[in-house]
Amino acid sequence: MPVAKRARPWCLHPAMPTAPRDATLARSLVPVLFVLIWATGFITARYVAPYAEPLTFVALRVVGVALVLVAIAFATGARWPRTGAGWRDALVAGVLMQGCYVVGVFWAVRNGLPAGIAALVGSLQPLLTAMLARPLLGEFVSRRRWLGIGLGFLGAGLVLAPKIGAAGAAGIPLPALAAGFGAMVAMTLGTLWQKRTGADADLLANATIQFVGAIGLALPLALAFGAMRVESSLPLWLGLAWSVLINSVAGILLLLVLIRRGAVAGVASLFFLVPPVSAVMAYALFGEVLSPVQVVGMIVAALGVAVASRG
């Protein structure tokens, strides 16, 4: 009499690969988490504005982030660059991505550039990234990705259009507008530089060195041009803690992961979602009303990101 075979436990059935599925889900959540974290940067800036002068706050942030990352890097045995070129490349990326970009945006807004227009200028970064990715990196940018970037730009413009109209573009100071464009160019060049030079670098060590480089720019600027005004209060310290631990530490590590594993133009297209997500957060936290045009813009921007990031 033949012995009946015992059925395999459901957890061992070959048709149910739970681990690969979980890994795929985790990879899919990284871009979503990055957009949410990155969008909080604009919310934090508004939240702490009454309690700290902008350049001073940026300097405190980069110093705090550098200290946290140094502690984590040494505790986890991060692999530091073995050559001077490795240190140089990370410092250059940090000056561009964490120094020039953040300082440029805060300085521009402080000196008369409306926040909506500053966000719109920042959303031009994927276009510039896509245009420079081929000549600088030899990276092919397909027609589909160009279409997605175009849709993302259109969606971001629709979201920001009401704010731009209310701000009155005629009164924008040219130095502030130039600083906003300079910040956007700095982030673009930093992203391209990181993609080109940081492929084999340890992510944690690289991010740590980047913020050390940012200190070399942000702190002297704050001492030279900032009012060094900080009002010790619970909102300030809460905002600084969020900005250091979540917006900066978690945000930049996620960005470096995305840059390493994906095409640089596709990664840059995620920035199109930041203005719409920031608008939703501002509505929830500060009661800013979203018009129907802005809602449509958020949908178009999300569609653009999906098209540009596909595959």
- What pLDDT, on the 0 to 100 scale, is given for residue 217? 92
Give which of 239, 259, 273, 305 is closest to 45, Cα–Cα: 239
Give which of 308, 298, 69, 23 is closest to 204, Cα–Cα: 69
pLDDT-flagged residues of the chain (< 70): 1-28, 114-116, 137, 163-172, 260-269, 288, 309-311
Phi/psi of residue 79, nearest 5 degrees: -90, 105
State the pTM of this model. 0.74
Beta bridge partners of 52: 230
Q: Where are the domains of the chain?
A: 36-166+174-309
The C-alpha atoms of residue 254 and residue 232 are separated, in whole angstroms, by 30
- What pLDDT, on the 0 to 100 scale, is given for residue 212? 93
How do residues 18-31 score in pLDDT, each as one tens digit? Answer: 445 555 555 667 78
Beta bridge partners of 230: 52
Distance of CA 39 to the CA centre of its chain: 8
- What pLDDT, on the 0 to 100 scale, is given for residue 302? 76
- What pLDDT, on the 0 to 100 scale, is given for residue 16? 44
What are the structure tokens assigned to 75, written together? 């505790």
DSSP, collapsed to helix, strand or coil, labels residue 7 as coil
- Is the distance from CB of 271 to CB of 62 less than 8 angstroms? no
DSSP result, 234-298: HHHHHHHHHIIIIIIIIHHHHHHHHHHHS-HHHHHGGGGGHHHHHHHHHHHHH-PPPPHHHHHHH
DSSP, collapsed to helix, strand or coil, labels residue 3 as coil
- Is the distance from CB of 182 to CB of 236 less than 8 angstroms? no
- Is the distance from CB of 187 to CB of 101 less than 8 angstroms? yes
Distance of CA 194 to the CA centre of its chain: 14
The C-alpha atoms of residue 37 and residue 34 are separated, in whole angstroms, by 5
How do residues 226-272 score in pLDDT, each as one tens digit? Answer: 777 788 889 899 999 999 999 888 887 787 777 766 656 666 667 77
